[in-house]
Structure 1
Amino acid sequence: GKLTPAAYNLWMGKTSGKSSGLHQDWHDNLYVLLRGTKKFKLWPASLTQTHMKPRGTVAEVFDNGRVRYEGAERCREDGATARDARRVADVELAKAEQQLDTAEASGDKKRIQSARKAVEQAEERLDSALAFAVGGFANIEEEDEEEEDGGDSDAFDDDDDDDFDDDGGDDDEGQQVDGENNLPHFSSVSSDQVVANSTEVVLRAGEMLYLPAGTWHDVTSYRDGDNDGGAHLALNFWYHPPSSKGSFEAPYEDDLWERDFQLWCDANGRS
């Protein structure tokens, strides 16, 4: 399909039988096991408010499974916020203006004309971003006013909190060493306490599992003997979740995430 990557993560550890803690992710998750064994217990996002007892207060559950908690910036179901739209447009405008400066320095009329057109297009996108209203909530200018008035619209940045780390343990996929994790998308109960049937999947090296956004999962990691140091190792790909009204060829309602990823590729020398 044409889902746009949001992040790539490498998970490793040596502790066998350790649980990640029951939680959900904001993105669609393609999980690839490279070494060891992983046992997944799974529940659908539709049980979030009835059975899963998240630590955070649920603000809304989108049709595609993504969950937004109170304190998080308002977003579309693909996770895009007004802030994202403005950030991408700002970078595109700066890039277009730089290209115009280069074209004008060259004196090439065709290059100058093309660069000016690119600047105009970037300015139009920035204007659209400044008026970007997602799901009927306030646009970015109104959100900025709330912050100036002492509001806390950025109290919980969901993109930043995706990369939760286990600072005290050897398995970055899981909870803190003391077993407590107060992130809103973690459950306040263990997977054994959930009063709903789960789907269990055992993943072995060379196998992969795809989890739609919002899927509740508890992952227990096992190492396979002492080969290669007895570690377990996994790689996962987070993708911005598609719109529930999207298609295989056009999963999102616009090209925002595609443009964002292209800017990242350009900045890092990737094609």
Structure 2
Amino acid sequence: MSSSVSSYSGFSPKEDDKIPVLDNVDHISPEEFYKDYVSKRVPVVIKSSLPESDWKGYLWKQEDYLLEKIGQSVCKIEPMDPSTGTFGQGMSRNEMTVAEFLQRIKAGERLYLTTQYDDSDDVLDGDDEVSLLVKSLCPAPTDKLLSDFSLTPALMGNLVPQQCNIWIGRSENGTSSGLHHDFHDNIYTVVKGHKRFVILSPDSALHLQLAGKISKIHQNGLISYEGEDRPQRSDGLTELDAAIAHTQFLEMKISDLKELQASEDIIQRLEAEYEAEMDNVLQMQLGGEAQDWDELQEGDADSLLDKSSNENDEGFSSADGGDQLDSEEQVSESGNEKPSLPDHFTKITVPGLHKYMGFDNAKDIIPSEEERTALSKTHPLVVDLEPGDMFYLPASWFHEVTSSSAEGESSIHVAFNYWFHPPDNLHNFDHPYEDRDLWKAKRSMVSKAIQRLYATSGTTEKRNWEGESSTSEKQTKKRVQ
């Protein structure tokens, strides 16, 4: 693969480099965290949880507490693939309550709970984009745990949340995710058990055996793949996503100007721009000649926009297999037939990787010549996480995760993570996304979804998420209010 596809400018470890470790986050501001780690695309281990104002997930160590909070929630549970001894290899998932799931894994069944679903799941059905975002942001059973965590932790500053997930399994010897990368920035917290990450920087893609064909590695490290329905932008959106968000921004702007009784000429110009953008969305959605938005029958336009949002907005389903894109263990809904590997997975086997890394528990399988050659051109780093540890991993860093219960225990392992849309305006804490107008609209939609989530759950957000707003802007708002 030609190095010309890569414009990555972030941290790329060399021999003997180590991942930085913070004792806690008490003495680092969100601005400092962004400057030192997020903007430089540097993974970092934090030997503590988020402040209690944002996080009480330590309560989930107690299985009785989990049962009380989410025992009756129905989730889709994945069985282990008997042919490989791993999860995420194409086995279909079955619905059951969390209580039944916990009972069955204690009885010895090899099952795994992940709250990430693709768009074929009715769990992600929604009447409109906000309804879809509500379910996508906090899929069951995490919606029953909202009193224990903030959807917008202060540490992550102005990054826009994409989803949160809980992962529960049981393994004394460890189960693996396979070597892959994700498409969002990740804050990962171990609640119970142990996690071992093997990580490689995004520019390692130039040497690894990927299932997909890379079109570009962006400056922020985000990897795009060939295919018109694949996200090609550095913020991870497809062109259709961006066009829809632009119409939402124009709607917001027109509404604001009407409230301010602005000039009719200005409003009409924006309305004409809005109509043109709607026509553009239709053309992209229909894949054919441009069609006038006004000529659609009533209801058709909303249907198309909802379909676009459902397929492409938060999960990028057509591009990346829905929310499967960001997954600790890749899950398929295609029955027991094994699908081809998603673009963002490598063909390097877990036994081959573990043997190359020299892990004590590696199977006695010699890596292939191709695997050894590929890995020898990279600088993998190992991160071991204990209960209470957090780990920040920027988008498109490759990683293989081995999950295990505590040594000598047969209890469950539990982890929780946040996904955030990857920033592409890396040197601006206040405005971390280059397409500012578009992300103003996206942020507004996410904010509405968060408000609806908390209203539905009967809890309140643990801090006021004002969203992307610089200090000077906040001061200006105070003066005019």
Q: Does 1:37 align with 2:37?
A: no
Match of 1:234 among 415, 418, 422: 415
Measure how far apart 1:82 and its partner are.
2.9
Percent identity, please: 30
Do the aligned partners of 1:31 and 1:235 also contact (CA within 8 Å) in 2? Answer: yes
Distance 2:399 2:250 in 1: 41
| 1:48 match: secondary structure | helix
SS of alignment partner, residue 9 of structure 1: strand
Task: Report the AA paired with residue 126 of structure 1.
Answer: Y
Deviation of 1:259 after TM superposition, in Å, equals 2.3
The Cα of 1:269 is off from its aligned counterpart by 2.7
C-alpha spacing 1:179/1:74, structure 2 compared with 1 (3 Å): closer
Which residue pairs with 2:184 in the alignment?
A: 27
Give the residue type in structure 2 aligned to 1:217: H
Q: Give the structure-2-normalised TM-score.
A: 0.43
RMSD between superposed Cα atoms in Å:
3.9
Q: 1:265 to 1:11 in 2, by over 3 A?
A: same
1:179-222 Cα deviation digits (max 9, x unpaired): 97611101111251433331000011111111111100000001
Contact residue 182 and residue 397 of structure 2 kept, 8 A: yes
Cα deviation for residue 262 of structure 1 reads 2.0
2:282 is the counterpart of 1:126:
no
Greater length-normalized contact order (CA 8 Å, ≥ 6 residues apart):
1
Q: Which residue of 2 aligns with 1:173?
A: 328
Task: Report the TM-score when normalising by structure 1.
Answer: 0.72
- CA distance in 2 between counterparts of 1:239 and 1:262 reads 15
Q: Is the 8 A contact 1:86 1:126 kept in 2?
A: no
Q: Which deviations, in whole Å up to 9, do the C-alpha atoms of 1:34-75 show, x marking residues without a partner?
A: 11110000100001022x211111111111110111224353
- CA contact 2:192–2:412 (8 Å) conserved in 1: yes
On the 8 A contact 1:26/1:162 being kept in 2, the answer is no
1:78 partner SS: coil
Contact 1:82 1:130 in 2 (8 A): no
CA–CA distance in 1 between the matches of 2:381 and 2:209?
Answer: 18
CA contact (8 A) 2:184 2:419 kept: yes
Say if 1:205 and 1:92 are closer, same or farther in 2 by CA, change over 3 A. same
Matching residue within 344, 355, 363 for 1:185: 344
Gaps of 5+ in 1: 101-109, 132-138, 166-171
Higher relative strand content: 1
The equivalent position to 1:215 in structure 2, one of 364, 386, 397, is 397
CA 1:204–1:124: 2 relative to 1, 3 Å: farther
Unaligned 5+ residue runs, structure 2?
1-156, 290-311, 354-370, 453-464, 466-481
Q: In the alignment, residue 380 of structure 2 is paired with which amino acid?
A: S
Does the CA-based 8 Å contact 2:186-2:420 persist in structure 1? yes
Counterpart residue identity of residue 24, structure 1: H
Greater radius of gyration (CA): 2
Q: Name the CA shift for 1:247/1:92 in 2 (closer, same or farther; >3 Å).
A: closer
Structure with the largest fraction of helix = 2
Q: State how far apart, in whole Å, the 2-side matches of 1:34 and 1:118 are.
A: 53
Residue 148 of structure 1 aligns with which residue?
A: 288
Pick closer, same or farther for the CA change 1:264–1:142 going to 2, 3 Å.
same
Which of 323, 331, 334 is equivalent to 1:162?
323
CA distance in 2, matches of 1:21, 1:264: 31
The structural deviation recorded for 1:18 is: 0.2
For residues 82-116 of structure 1, give each alpha carbon's deviation from its aligned partner in whole angstroms, at most 9, with x where no partner exists: 3223323445667789x89xxxxxxxxx96948x9
Q: In 2, distance between residues paired with 1:61 and 1:232?
A: 34
Match of 1:136 in 2: none
> For the residues of structure 1 that align with 2:192 and 2:217, how far apart are their CA atoms?
34
Q: How many aligned positions are there? A: 241
Instruction: Tell me the residue number matched to 1:135.
Output: none
**Correspondence for 1:62 among 196, 201, 218:** 218
Distance of aligned partners of 1:91 and 1:225 in 2 relative to their CA distance in 1, 3 Å threshold: same
Q: Name the SS of the counterpart of 2:206 in structure 1.
A: coil
Partners of 1:181 and 1:14 in 2: CA distance: 27
Measure the CA separation in 2 of the matches of 1:126 and 1:246: 31
Choose 60-69 or 174-183, whichever is displaced more: 174-183
